[in-house]
Amino acid sequence: MTAAEIKEAIVDILSDIAPDEDLSGLKEDVPFRDQLELDSMDFLDIVMELRKRYRLQIPEQDYPELASMNQTVTYLEPLMKDL
């Protein structure tokens, strides 16, 4: 997957988890929690969706790497390059 495809996948997951949020103005360098009404369970839902949709295993110690869109894409790009 390319960086653009990963961003699209993350926006799709976010729209499923937080359907009432407007994701059109999502800033790529600002943490998701600072922009959206996400709690820790919502964040875990993101991780679980990545596991379910793409069979990715993300260790708990790496969760901070998924804080913002830029960080998430940087972290996921090598893991998803062959998907």
- The mean of the pLDDT values for the chain is 95
Domain span at residue 60 reads 3-80
Query: Does position 83 have pLDDT exceeding 90, yes or no?
Result: no
Cα 75 to Cα 1: distance, rounded to the nearest angstrom: 13
Looking up residue 48, the CATH number of its domain turns out to be 1.10.1200.10
Q: Who wins on pLDDT, 83 or 52? A: 52
**What average pLDDT does range 13-20 have in this prediction?**
95
Question: Residue 71 corresponds to which tokens in the numbers above?
Answer: 């960080």
What's the structural domain count of the chain?
1
Cα 5 to Cα 80: distance, rounded to the nearest angstrom: 10
Cα 32 to Cα 22: distance, rounded to the nearest angstrom: 12
Question: Residue 24 corresponds to which tokens in the numbers above?
Answer: 């059109």
Return the H-helix or E-strand segment holding 50.
helix 40-54
